[in-house]
Amino acid sequence: MVKETHKWPVYYPAIIILVFVGFVYLWLTSGSLWFGYFATAGMITLGLIFLYLGFHNLKMKKMIENIPTSKIRSLAMGLVEVHGRVVPIKSLKAPFSGRQCAYYYYSVEDVTDDKEKYPYGSLMIYGHESEPFLLKDETGSVTVLPEKAIIEMPIGISTHFILDLDYGKTMPENIKSFLKFHDITLSSHRRLRFREFRIDGGDMIYVIGTAGNNPFVKMSSKGIENVAITKGAHDKIFFISKSREWKIIKTCRAGSIVGIVAGVVFILSAVAMAFYPDLFFILTK
């Protein structure tokens, strides 16, 4: 079983963004070289991050395109790509919906100031839990150990459950217990949003990972029972999605284009800022 919970102070992202914008503003208004250095370093850092994400998506796209889809009965050891239906071995209880599932991800956001204007709030806490499950197609089933998998979730993470709570609104008992356990208060000045994403029994999913020995069973004459899909020691990719393969490839293609273009723009802007600072002063006047 894998269970992780993380608390994310709502002001961290705001501080990072404000510091960067502040350095750019101070450099443009004061002309101080030190502020310019910090602004340039920030733009280069952002550019490198975007480039990394862009090339990572490009590598992912090419890998998915080059690995043929296998039937479970004919799986070979090593990197594999399979489609199938989820059959839980040991079910989990999702924290907000209370539904039985093989995997869940949850988040709690502070949307006090957002009201209905924006679909997202400030992330306060998030976590996930998973259990090994079977993946079944028409030829057989294989164990999947999702512990180290990258699990693709839809934007908004609201496929299965989303609930906004204002102070004074009737609160389900399981949410009340969750807030108490994590020491989160719902005061008269706070509005919270609860999101949940699950992989349920019966869901069709796409898996790309490494087929190896199943650590939970003794070797038997039925070869597929000895196999489990997990993250390999050498094949680093381990990806699970509820999307179709063509849609994953489309998403990776878009991510690679956006990441590479944005990375190049940020780095070129940083170079221009360093070597042609007068241009920025002219543009901001």
Q: What pLDDT, on the 0 to 100 scale, is given for residue 3?
A: 47
Q: What is the 3-state secondary structure (H, E, C) of 2-59?
A: EEEEEECCCHHHHHHHHHHHHHHHHHHHHCCHHHHHHHHHHHHHHHHHHHHHHHHHHH
Residue 4 lies in a domain: no
Tokens 């997202």 -> residue: 120
Residue 5 lies in a domain: no
Verify that 238 and 258 share a domain, yes or no: no
Verify that 40 and 130 share a domain, yes or no: no
Verify that 85 and 50 share a domain, yes or no: no
Q: Has residue 159 got a pLDDT over 70?
A: no
Most confident range, picked from 12-21, 31-40, 211-220? 211-220
Q: How large is the angle between the packed helices 245-275 and 33-66, nearest 10 degrees?
A: 160
Tokens of 48: 């490198």
Q: What pLDDT, on the 0 to 100 scale, is given for residue 233?
A: 81
Verify that 77 and 202 share a domain, yes or no: yes
Verify that 236 and 249 share a domain, yes or no: no
Q: Which residues pair with 204 in a beta bridge?
A: 85
Of the given ranges (65-69, 96-100, 215-219, 246-250), which has the lowest mean pLDDT?
215-219
Mean pLDDT of 121-133: 85
Find the domain containing 138 and state its range.
70-243
Tokens 């070597």 -> residue: 275
Tokens of 115: 């009201």
Determine contact, residues 90/101, Cβ cutoff 8 Å. Answer: no
Verify that 106 and 33 share a domain, yes or no: no
Tens digit of each residue's pLDDT (9 = 90 or more) over 232-268: 887 778 999 988 888 888 989 999 999 999 899 888 8
Task: Give the Cα separation of 59 and 61 in Å (integer).
Answer: 5
Residue 1 lies in a domain: no
Q: How large is the angle between the packed helices 33-66 and 11-30, nearest 10 degrees?
A: 130
Task: Give the Cα separation of 211 and 227 in Å (integer).
Answer: 6
Verify that 138 and 256 share a domain, yes or no: no
Q: Where are the alpha helices (DSSP H) in the chain?
A: 11-30, 33-66, 173-181, 245-275, 277-283
Verify that 47 and 78 share a domain, yes or no: no
Q: How many domains are there within the chain?
A: 2
Verify that 15 and 145 share a domain, yes or no: no
Q: Which amino acid is at 158?
A: S
Task: Give the Cα separation of 123 and 11 in Å (integer).
Answer: 9
Average pLDDT of every residue of the chain? 78
Of the given ranges (66-80, 92-106, 152-166), which has the lowest mean pLDDT?
152-166
Verify that 216 and 257 share a domain, yes or no: no
Of the given ranges (7-11, 196-200, 226-230), which has the lowest mean pLDDT?
7-11
> Cα 223 to chain center, whole Å?
34
Verify that 21 and 92 share a domain, yes or no: no
Residue 2 lies in a domain: no
Tokens of 90: 């040991």
Q: Has residue 45 got a pLDDT over 90?
A: no
Residue 249 lies in a domain: yes
- pTM beyond 0.75, yes or no: no
Tokens of 258: 């956006």
Residue 3 lies in a domain: no
Verify that 45 and 108 share a domain, yes or no: no
